[in-house]
Structure 1
């Protein structure tokens, strides 16, 4: 019996020397195109965030010592910002919502120079560039239990439709006044150094009535009584409709033997996130709603007790507290009857 030779197996094809470079060139061009698309945000499959520009660097940044252990930092609003991060040197020391644009940096050392910068962050969590660096030096620590005297002769005038100019007489204190705090209603909105007796408050609304007071602060963080209130109305007309919540919906439900009114609305668009609302029931303020860091941006919801009786028709509307500390316009009024679901 003769041995039968095994069938020949063809050798694998080897690209010609002229074909290999062409294939590599095609791969290189494809990789370069993919890299370019990724860097430009094309074809990334995300929600479009990468196509939006980053927030700009905050401008108008100032820093003033508030006491031996605090510095007050302020800045102008940045378009598209949802929050701001404040840095001392390279360390982030605070974060505030976009409506604030100011912060008191605390727990500092007396007689120490500090440098601060601010960055804006958008709704997608992206940080813009740092602001210019500003510096402030805290004064020496003192032992003092006596607050400064109240600022005197407080006066004010409108400085256009969106700003006011305030002046006052200097306070007295044995250890000296380090800063003056300006309050709008019950909210601190501005601060200037202790050698100043005037301030300009910006970011206001036209045709709106404001009440301002001034307090002095010393190095030991003692705060004076408030000076006389200054009441001013900015010129122009207040567009209440532009500051009102929209798309208000109202219904009712029953739980545990009682009826509740369920509301939802779209927050007004403006400078920063709205964190406080007032709900009016049958022409009277019924309740206030205060959100924390998780304030809704697209649609807010709230449910509150309305009584135990069915068939009662209520009128409801909502308004928001704006970044300047005032209340915006009311939403359109809605009627809701307990026990009917709407």
Structure 2
């Protein structure tokens, strides 16, 4: 399936049905009185987070969604039926914003989360509601209100704990294939990865985290060069970035330090907050270095980069050092999850948390 992480759609909630002006007509009841019912509410448009979806391809070709309008009111006190709602299933991680104003309306962050994105119009009132002691034969009725109409931008941001960052052919796809259940395409030419890949890394019973591999960056990606700029948004929700650097490039003219600096520069151009995320340096393909040169090469790269964070030496191909790296990553992610989790509330000290109680005003 083609990976689509952006789409623009038009949604239209249903209009409310019109109220009815009617009078009761029965034998031997000359003045039966008003009996016009209300119109029905127009259908709403909802967005539902579906964990079984991972792309917005369903909205690339079908771009207009309309809910049913409410029925008109009828005589004999008959109220119109409400219009049928429309539920749009979207992947978890979808950001829904107004395409005209840019305002973010909602983010679908949890499976099963349901959000109202277009409200149906209320039905009009029938003349049944306008009778009074002084107006026994009202002919007033109100029309139904129009439903909301919006042009929306859908943007998918993958929900991953760890993101892999690096130049093309740095070994990101090989690493995610070695440590998780993801099976990305791997080849010896640039831009093998054409869409993000998600993998679940399990380091023990009930110990796992999600890792994301995005297409490689090149210099000028923030301005639109290459493929990586299209997918940088998928790193914005990660807790940790693993900067994969090819420590043993085939071409001697390629400088790993210069490539690493270019990646950091592109991150800062695209989103300073993304560049400020915790980042670990992972030197890949160390198995390609002669044993007597490995330590010196690693020290040289770290020194020239002036990198102060954790540094790991791995070989994604032979899986050397991968287990230790994943264990360290899990421990970090677990600490971040615990820090971000809300503290449990003791009902003894929070009356609002007790069943059947509510906070008092004033």
Q: TM-score, normalised by structure 1?
A: 0.22
Q: Which has the higher contact order (CA 8 A, sep 6+)?
A: 2
Higher helix share: 2
Identify, as 1 or 2, the structure richer in strand.
1
TM-score, normalization by structure 2 = 0.21
